[in-house]
A and B are shown apart, each in its own frame.
Chain A
Amino acid sequence: MATSLAAPKQLALADLKGKVDPDWCPGCGDFGVLAAVEKALVELQIPNHNVVTISGIGCSSNFPGFINTYGMHTLHGRALAVATGVKLANHDLTVLVTGGDGDGFGIGGNHFVHTMRRNVDLLYIVMDNQIYGLTTGQTSPTSRIGMKTKSMPFGNIEAPVNPISLALAAGATFVARGFSGEQKQLIELIKQGIEHKGFSFLDVFSPCVTYNHDNSYQWFRPRVKKLEDDTAYDPTNWLAAMEKSLLWGDEIPIGIFFERTDILTLHGAEPVLNKGPLVHGDTRIPPDVARSFIEELM
Chain B
Amino acid sequence: MRQTFAIGIGGAAGQGVATPGDIFAKIFSRRGLHLNAYNAYQSIIRGGHTFLTIRAGPEKVTNMGDCIDLLIPLNQDSMNRHLALLSTGAACIYNADTIKPGATGDGVQLCPLPVSKLADITRNKVAQNTLAIGAGLNMMGISFQALENALTEQFKKKGEAVVTENVGIARAGYDHAASKFKPFAWPLPMTENRYAVLSGNIAMAMGGAAAGVKFYCAYPMSPSTGVLHWMAAHARKAGIMVRQVEDEIGVVNMAIGAAHAGVRAMCATSGGGFALMSEGLGMSAMMETPVVVIDCQRAGPSTGVPTKTEQGDLWQMLGAAFGDYPRVIASPLDIGDCFKIIPEMFNLVDRFQCPGMVLCDLLLSEGRLSVDPKDLGFTPVIDRGELITTANGTPSSPATSGDYRRYEITESGISPRAIPGVPGHVHTAATDEHDEDGVLISDEFTNTVKRRAMMEKRMRKVTGIEAAIPPPALWGPRNADVTLIGWGSTSGVIEEACEILSEQGISANQLQIRWLVPLHGEAIVEILKGARHTIIVENNYSGQFARYLRSESSYVPNGYIRKYDGEPFMPHHIVEAVKEQLTGKTTLSVPAHEIMV
Interface residues of A (CB under 8 A from B): 1-5, 19-20, 23, 47-50, 52-54, 57, 62, 64-65, 68-75, 78, 81-90, 92-93, 110-111, 113-114, 270-273, 275, 278-279, 281-285, 287, 289-290, 292-294, 297-298
Contact = CB atoms under 8 A, between A and B. Distances in A.
A50 B373 contact: no
Given A68-B426, A73-B440, A75-B253, A298 B238 contact: no
B253 A85 contact: yes
Nearest to A73: B430
Given A68-B426, A72-B429, A85 B258 contact: yes
Nearest to A287: B378
A261 to B, nearest CB: 23
A281 B239 contact: yes
B557 interface: no
17 contacts: A1-B422, A49-B422, A52-B420, A62-B443, A65-B440, A74-B431, A78-B283, A84-B243, A86-B260, A110-B249, A272-B241, A278-B214, A285-B238, A285-B378, A293-B237, A297-B202, A298-B196
Contact of B423 (A49, A68, A75): A49
A89 B423 contact: no
A81 B250 contact: yes
B576 interface: no
Interface of B: 29-30, 194-198, 202, 206, 209-210, 212, 214-215, 217, 234-243, 245-247, 249-251, 253-265, 279-280, 283, 287, 373, 376, 378-379, 382, 389-392, 419-432, 437-440, 443
Contacts, number: 224
Contacts of A110: 246-247, 249-250
A278 B235 CA distance: 12
A52 to B, nearest CB: 5
A93 B30 CA distance: 49
Given A49-B425, A89-B241, A290 B195 contact: no
B263 A279 contact: yes
Contacts of B212: 283-284
Nearest to B283: A75
A83 B260 CA distance: 10
Contacts of A278: 214-215, 239, 241, 258, 263
B437 A19 contact: yes
A1 B428 contact: no
Counting from the closest, the 3 A-B pairs by CB-CB distance are A85-B257, A71-B428, A290-B378
B262 A90 contact: yes
A81 B390 CA distance: 26
Contacts of B242: 272
A74 B264 CA distance: 19
A62 B440 contact: yes
Contact of B240 (A4, A57, A74, A272): A272
A113 B247 CA distance: 12
Contacts of A5: 391, 423-424
